[in-house]
Amino acid sequence: MSIKVLLADDHKIVREGLRSLLEKEERISVLALADNGRMAVRLAKETLPDVVVMDIAMPDMNGIEATRRLVSENPEVKVLALSMHSARRFVVEALSAGAKGYLLKDCAAEELVRAIRTVAAGKVYLSPDVADQIVKDYVKNPPETSPSTLKLLSTREKEVLQLISEGKNTKEIAFTLHVSIKTVESHRQQIMKKLNLQSIAGLTRYAIREGLTPLE
């Protein structure tokens, strides 16, 4: 039986490259491609893939939030996070959001296929480099010593923060999230209060530092 895959990455060359690699494999078929997290959530609902290969750094809605929403709406779909970052906090965020695997973008094609087959079978997959880095980070920085303030924000506030950091104004954010301008302004005020930040520039730097939005 073929494993149905959805690929989500904001770089076209990466999406097309991954599709080309996977289409050569037996019993793996690529159903659809998405260039941002919001599209990935929508396409997953429409196509019901077995596995979503999800880049964690995408515009509009990042892969972490997309994973959280996708798994909530379609718990049978397995998410394999794909990232350039091996730091523990990125891996923990992805797995906490519901991802069943975490893979680095510089992995070999064989490892990508192995990871897809592993998570499709209901098992967890961590690339060896990621597992090694997590152990090293854990030894140097126990989790109790450096909690992320990102946990203070609600899911909606994280969405608003990402869109702010991507340069969208209040009206554009309201349109994207299908809420009122007043609601967006209220979320922005709460975000600034919770993070103790007083400017859009400060929010943008924070979002990039926390991996909430990609640094292009």
Query: What is the strand order of the sheet 101-104 is part of?
Result: 28-34, 3-8, 51-55, 78-83, 101-104, 125-126
Q: Are 32 and 59 in contact (CB under 8 A)?
A: no
The domain limits of the chain are 3-140, 149-209
Topology of domain 3-140 in CATH is Rossmann fold (3.40.50)
pLDDT of residue 86: 78
The region that residue 210 occupies, defined by phi over 0 for left and psi between -120 and 50 for alpha, beta otherwise, is alpha
* Predicted confidence (pLDDT) per residue in 88-105, tens digit: 788 888 988 999 999 998
* Predicted confidence (pLDDT) per residue in 193-202, tens digit: 999 888 887 8
pLDDT of residue 203: 87
Topology of domain 149-209 in CATH is Arc Repressor Mutant, subunit A (1.10.10)
